[in-house]
Structure 1
Amino acid sequence: MSFGQGGPSWGPGDQHTPDWAALADESAARGRRKKWLMIGGGVLATAVVGAIVATAVISTNNGNKPSGSDKNANELPAPAELPSDTSEPAPSFSSVAPPPPPDPKDYISDAKKDKAPITVDGFFPGKKLTMGDRVHIKGATNRTTSCAAGTQGALGAILTNNGCEQLIRATYRKDGIAVTVGVAVFRTEARARKAAKQASGGIASLSGEGVPTFCRAGTVCRRTANSYGRYAYFTVGGFTDGKRVTTADKNVYAVGDDLTDFTFRQIRHRGEVQASNAAAAPAG
């Protein structure tokens, strides 16, 4: 007779005497089952904890990927796509280069373009000329359409033969030295250049306005000849007391060089003004 699982077992003959061997076997079996249940419960608990930890690690990795085993950990996010079309028009550039600015020399090289008035004050303004620390006082001036009348020696014929239209002269003085500078006007640059190259004799000195007669009656003086554009310009300089000039008289050379330099600048400035006015004029 048996009482079922967990009940006592009785020995043979059913004398209500417990079968102690059977009871011992059942006790051992129950101990083994309990042990396996405890081991199984431990494994299950470990698995649950492991799953929780794994879930936490996965959640953390989704928010902040560590470098290392994850093959996508170091990949940067893809750049945002730019729109393929916009409402703003694309800039455009002209393929035609702007015209170059006018060349000032063009406006003083030919009478067809050199339209500014030609006057004494236009070339020799004011009452004195200052070059650095040197001050030259302006004396008499003269303007004539008879170019040969303002020359000495062969220069008159040279100017006339090359078509000189007018001659402007001005005299400057400084410390007993006087220099007359003359500007001869021609139709073209080629004629002015030829006249300066052929120069012989010289410009006639111009006295008055505090300057006595100088560089006349065979007195040795310094003479120069140059040209720029359609203008040829000449100087004659020496001592106001009639003393002859030698190469040792550096002061005479210095005053003459100042007048030559100044005249060149005035002619060039004439071209610059006309070129600037042409550039500023409206097209058409």
Structure 2
Amino acid sequence: MTLAFDLILCLMIIGTAASALLMRNALAAIVFFIVFGNLLGLAWLAMDAVNVAMAEIAIGAGVTGVLLILARQRLMALGDDLVCDEMPGWLRAGALVACAGFAALVGAAVLSVAPSDDLGGPIAALMPSLGIENPVTGVLLAFRAYDTLLETFVLLGALVAVWSLAPGTAWPHPPATLALTEREGHGVAAAFGRLLLPLALVMAAYLVWTGSDLPGGAFQAGTVLAGGLIIAVIGGAVLWPRGDNRLLRVALVLGPAVFLTIGLAGIALGRFLFYPPGFEKALIVAIEYSLALSIGVTLALQLAGPPVTPDHKG
């Protein structure tokens, strides 16, 4: 990338971030936030961090942007005008100083790391023993698998918290009524939903499989799967299962359960989350596929809100 492109991209990132923070119109702020996430994805891509770029665009901009739009709709349905009061000047100045100080600390920390401290070499030397070539997958599922395992349970816990703590009145419509009813848009949404869901399944399966050696993985695949499910439900191609559906609950816990089971089985061989020699890639791929399903279903259900109860028909 040229220096001019890098400078323009940095200015656009700073500009969209400032716009998202300073806009008083909630919808405009959300739009700038989504653009900000996509620009960050381009920045990661310019630094050859393809995995991070995919995650940023899919989760940081895509899923989070949809969540913010749905949150805005729900707040408006509850009577909130979403108009912010004018912030005092002293508070603006204090926030600016705090953000500038934090940015300076982060910059100083990054610049203090010498190029010779790069962990790429030691990680690359360990990758052949795992039978995979993507260092990101190796780090996430082998060298810092504890963190990744906890992240899967945090994601599941977030859904449980939404279902348990959020009042039903926080959602103007239950998930069972997400399908479009307007005649003008229903046909297009239905056709698009029927087309997109199979494509999302194929793409998710591909992202998991290729994630062993190339950019991809369970989190990116799960995000794609969640997007396909949401579009399919809006188009009426599929219906939300009830909250007490056993298959739904199995899908939610499958990924964390498989991950934890394989980790516990490793204790018999010496330590927690130890992969037996010769079975490393097979176990990692099994974890990735189960996680992709659980992540996709969990993200989709978090977007939908409270679970469908036996009272909802269809």
Q: TM-score, normalised by structure 1?
A: 0.21
Q: Which has the higher strand share?
A: 1
Task: Determine which structure has greater relative contact order: mean sequence separation of CA pairs < 8 Å that are 6+ residues apart, divided by chain length.
Answer: 2
**Larger gyration radius, structure 1 or structure 2:** 1
Length-normalised TM-score, structure 2: 0.19
